[in-house]
Each structure stands twice: as structure tokens, then as C-alpha cells.
Amino acid sequence: MMSTTQVLVDLRSDSDSDEEIDRPVVAHLSWKNQIFPLYEGENLIGREKVCEAALDHPSVSSKHAEIVITGQQVLVRDLRSDNGTFVEMQAGSGDYKKLSVRDNSRTIEHNSKIRLGMVSCTFSLSKDSSTDNMKDTTDSMKDTSNPSNPSSSDTLPQVSPRSNLQFETQSFPPIQGGNSEG
């Protein structure tokens, strides 16, 4: 009697399961102390783990919006989200435009703010398209007042393209007018 051995071959490679690794990081989306790398082409933003920026927040839809980066043009597109996508008309202006069914996309520029439901993020272009730029961006945001003794709050955590983050919202009382005499 002959014995048989069955060989199972896994034809998937590590790069097949995470195709973004092959695409260069060309921009970042940041919220509080989290930085999400963005790639040339389409980048999904939403609650689902398949999104490049997975935001676990109740006001963010499962597939809320996408940022499409092609060459020098960056486009934000609402994906029929429940709580809307709002894009700053000009970086730093504070003037937002809500994307609608008829007008569901808008171009943005470096340092533009994007609001997804109640989550406000900042879009920034990378200095270069290398993945090492994520570390450069993180290093530039550190408090260098005491470089010999950095605390854990001085460094930003690295976020993988498929990170699933949980956010905590807080309400603050309005700021009252004060006396500026010193």
C-alpha cells in the first residue's frame, strides 16, 4: 500500500494582501496625534478596516470619503456618507464647503482641513514620496525643548495603513472673555 502526502501551497505573498506597500507615500492625513499615510491613487477613509484611514468614530460612515491623488492634483470625494464631508475652501481659511450629491468632490491643497462627520483632519503633502518621510514628519512634530529626556508624549505612534483606531470625543465649555492684563 502506498501512502500519499498532500502538499498545500499558499500562492498569496505578503505583498498581495497589502498592496499599498508598493505604492509610494505621497501625503498624510492627521487627526490629533495619529498620522495615516496616503498613497498615489485612491485612498478610502471610513470606519472599515479596509480603509487607508480607518477612523472608529460613530459620526464616520463605514466608507465615508476618499482622497484621490494623481500627480499634482488632490481630490476629496464624499461617498454618500450619513454625516457629510466638509472641505476647507482654501487652506487655513476656516471656510468649509459641504460636499453634496451633485457636487460630491473638491480639490484640496497642502494643510487643508477635512471634516468627516464630527472628525476634523488635516491633509498634508509629503516632502518626498519615500516611506521614510513618515518618520521625518513624526520627528518634526516632537517637542525638542528637552531632547535628552523625551517622554512618550513627545513621539507620535506609527499607524499602519489598515489601522483601526478608536476615538474619544469630549465636550468643552465655551471660552469666556478674560482680562489680558499681565
Domains parsed from the chain with CATH numbers:
23-128 (2.60.200.20)
- The length of the chain, given as a count of residues: 182
- Predicted confidence at residue 175, as pLDDT, reads 64
- Predicted confidence at residue 107, as pLDDT, reads 94
Q: pLDDT tens digits, the chain, 182 residues: what are they?
A: 555 665 555 444 444 444 445 788 999 999 878 899 999 999 999 999 999 999 989 999 999 999 999 988 999 999 999 999 999 988 888 899 999 988 899 999 999 999 999 999 999 998 764 334 434 443 444 444 444 444 444 444 555 555 555 555 555 666 666 555 54
φ, ψ of residue 114 to 5 degrees: the values are: -130, 130
- Residue 115: all three cell numbers together: 471634516
76 contacts: CB under 8 Å, gap ≥ 6: 65, 66, 67, 85, 87, 99, 105, 106, 107, 108, 114, 123
The model's pTM: 0.60
Contact between 155 and 138 (Cβ < 8 Å) = yes
- Predicted confidence at residue 84, as pLDDT, reads 96
- Predicted confidence at residue 6, as pLDDT, reads 57
Q: What per-residue string of b and e applies to 145-159 under the rule 16 or more CB within 10 Å gives b?
A: eeeeeeeeeeebeeb
How far is the first Cα of the chain from the last one, in angstroms, to the nearest whole number?
Answer: 97
